[in-house]
């Protein structure tokens, strides 16, 4: 056999449909993409300017360890430089963690549904993975369920908070309790891809727990609130020992020059970050107020997207919106077949979405 059984069986990640593809298929030119939790405000102007200024320097390899970016981020996070490693998106960080720490016969645990990539990477690497279901109806990520699921061979926990695709979160005191109670032989990886958007007091980063808990790793990304999805850059923060191992196993130039430069520019642009977060809060308010008015259910969100209950097969709503040039996401998971996940857009995009969504829901007889 050309490949091993795990690779043969692997079902690759299904990304949101690209705008250009939808426009080609529908013969339109103004499709709206609210499917991949990207930043609708674009990229930070400071990031764009920084990238422009180094375009002619790409004949040289980039700094392998992201020297300047790491210095800047360490200062901002008040963490030692040796406690940060960057990746080609946090996707690469997830892959590095699994390849570096999970040995044959060991397993990862994750809540289900959460970010679809954890089990895909584990399977590709021929490592075991086990899902801990969210609580039915509430979609709660119950930390006791996670701790009860831990077995002899458990090596890494992936906890996504705020959770994609649900938008809910694990309250800080519960996360803290989990980190304190879990064996120090197990790596607790908290995926904070959406943490910048959080507004609830108890939905916050666990970065402050790293010093006391060397088995805790926080993963972050520049793809969301910083608006740099296309550059591909994310990072992990953890003990110098853990990060040291990840530095050993990463490729020598895993983060390209443009990505490093864009991220440096974005970190300087507090104004853009604040505006992005503000746009998101206002968008969520508008969308949830509309859903409340229409009597449509949803999961309150701490992220830049919202999981909406369509009152029937969610794929019909997904299709109806697609035909109207609005790309959202219907996630093929049995717990959320009646939902669509919608990324918060610009005010204009949100207004378009609301108008078309009402239209589709009416046409399907889901609302009066
Ligand atoms: C929870 C979560 N983690 C990680 C990622 C990956 O982000 P990146 O673009 O940094 O690879 C995503 C992207 O959607 C995500 O939702």
pLDDT at 110: 98
**Alpha helices in the chain, H assignment, sequence order:** 5-9, 19-26, 45-54, 67-77, 90-101, 117-124, 143-149, 172-181, 240-249, 257-268, 270-294, 314-323, 347-363
Which letter does DSSP use for residue 82 in this model?
G
Ligand 1 atom closest to the CA of 37, numbered from 1: 14
Which fold would CATH assign to domain 45-268?
3.40.640
Domain ranges of the chain: 15-43+271-363, 45-268
CA distances to 54, 316, 332, 339 from 297, in Å: 48, 17, 19, 9
Q: Is there an atom of ligand 1 within 6 Å of 90 CB? A: yes
CATH number of the structural domain 15-43+271-363: 3.90.1150.10
CA distances to 8, 37, 187, 212 from 15, in Å: 20, 11, 28, 37
Among 168, 220, 223, which residue has the most ligand 1 atoms within 8 Å of its CB, making it the best to mutate?
A: 223
C-alpha span between 220 and 65 (Å, rounded): 17
C-alpha span between 221 and 229 (Å, rounded): 9
Q: Is there an atom of ligand 1 within 6 Å of 91 CB? A: yes
Distance of CA 47 to the CA centre of its chain: 21
pLDDT at 186: 98
For ligand 1, the distance from its centroid to the CA atom of residue 221, given in whole angstroms, is 7
For ligand 1, the distance from its centroid to the CA atom of residue 222, given in whole angstroms, is 9
pLDDT at 15: 82
Q: What is the pLDDT along the chain (368 residues), one digit of tens a residue?
A: 899 999 999 998 888 778 888 889 888 888 999 999 999 999 999 999 999 999 999 999 999 999 999 999 999 999 999 999 999 999 999 999 999 999 999 999 999 999 999 999 999 999 999 999 999 999 999 999 999 999 999 999 999 999 999 999 999 999 999 999 999 999 999 999 999 999 999 999 999 999 999 999 999 999 999 999 999 999 999 999 999 999 999 999 999 999 999 999 999 999 999 999 999 999 999 999 999 999 999 999 999 999 999 999 999 999 999 999 999 999 999 999 999 999 999 999 999 999 999 999 999 999 98
Joined together, the tokens standing for residue 319 give 């299709």
SS3 270: helix
Q: Is there an atom of ligand 1 within 6 Å of 160 CB? A: yes
For ligand 1, the distance from its centroid to the CA atom of residue 362, given in whole angstroms, is 33
CA distances to 15, 91, 204, 241 from 245, in Å: 30, 17, 27, 7
Q: Is there an atom of ligand 1 within 6 Å of 191 CB? A: yes
pLDDT at 300: 98
For ligand 1, the distance from its centroid to the CA atom of residue 193, given in whole angstroms, is 6
pLDDT at 28: 83
pLDDT tens, residue by residue, 37-68: 999 999 999 999 999 999 999 999 999 999 99
pLDDT at 26: 83
Ligand 1 atom closest to the CA of 234, numbered from 1: 10
| Residue located nearest, by CA, to atom 7 of ligand 1 | 90
C-alpha span between 73 and 52 (Å, rounded): 21
pLDDT at 16: 77
For ligand 1, the distance from its centroid to the CA atom of residue 304, given in whole angstroms, is 12
Ligand 1 atom closest to the CA of 229, numbered from 1: 9
């Amino acid at each position: 056999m050309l490949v091993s059984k795990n690779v043969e069986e692997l079902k690759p990640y299904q990304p949101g449909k690209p705008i250009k593809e939808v426009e080609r298929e529908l013969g339109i030119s103004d499709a709206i993409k609210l499917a991949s939790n990207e930043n609708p405000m674009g990229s930070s102007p400071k990031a764009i300017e920084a990238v422009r200024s180094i375009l002619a320097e790409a004949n040289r390899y980039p700094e392998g360890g992201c020297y300047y970016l790491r210095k800047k981020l360490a200062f901002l996070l008040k963490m030692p430089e040796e406690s940060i490693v960057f990746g080609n998106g946090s996707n690469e960080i997830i892959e590095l963690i699994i390849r570096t720490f999970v040995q044959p016969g060991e397993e990862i645990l994750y809540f289900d549904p959460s970010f679809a990539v954890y089990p895909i990477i584990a399977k590709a690497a021929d490592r075991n993975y086990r899902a801990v279901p969210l609580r039915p109806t509430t979609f709660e990520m119950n930390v006791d369920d996670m701790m009860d699921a831990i077995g002899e061979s458990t090596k890494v926990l992936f906890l996504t908070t705020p959770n994609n695709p649900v938008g809910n979160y694990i309250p800080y005191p519960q996360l803290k309790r989990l980190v304190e109670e879990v064996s120090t032989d197990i790596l607790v990886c908290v995926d904070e891809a959406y943490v910048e958007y959080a507004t609830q007091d108890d939905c916050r980063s666990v970065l402050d727990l790293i010093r006391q808990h060397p088995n805790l790793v926080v993963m972050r990304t520049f793809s969301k609130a910083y608006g740099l999805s296309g550059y591909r850059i994310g990072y992990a923060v953890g003990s110098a020992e853990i990060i040291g191992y990840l530095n050993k196993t990463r490729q020598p130039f895993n983060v390209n020059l443009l990505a490093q430069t864009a991220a440096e520019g974005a970190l300087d642009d507090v104004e853009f970050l604040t505006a992005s977060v503000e746009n998101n809060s206002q968008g969520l308010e508008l969308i949830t107020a509309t859903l409340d008015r229409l009597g449509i259910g949803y999961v309150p969100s701490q992220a830049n997207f919202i999981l909406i209950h369509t009152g029937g097969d969610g794929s019909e709503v997904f299709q109806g919106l697609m035909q109207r040039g609005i790309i959202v996401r219907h996630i093929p998971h049995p717990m959320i077949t009646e939902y669509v996940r919608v990324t918060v857009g610009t005010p204009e995009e949100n207004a378009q979405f609301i108008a078309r969504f009402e239209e589709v829901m009416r046409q399907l007889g889901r609302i009066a």
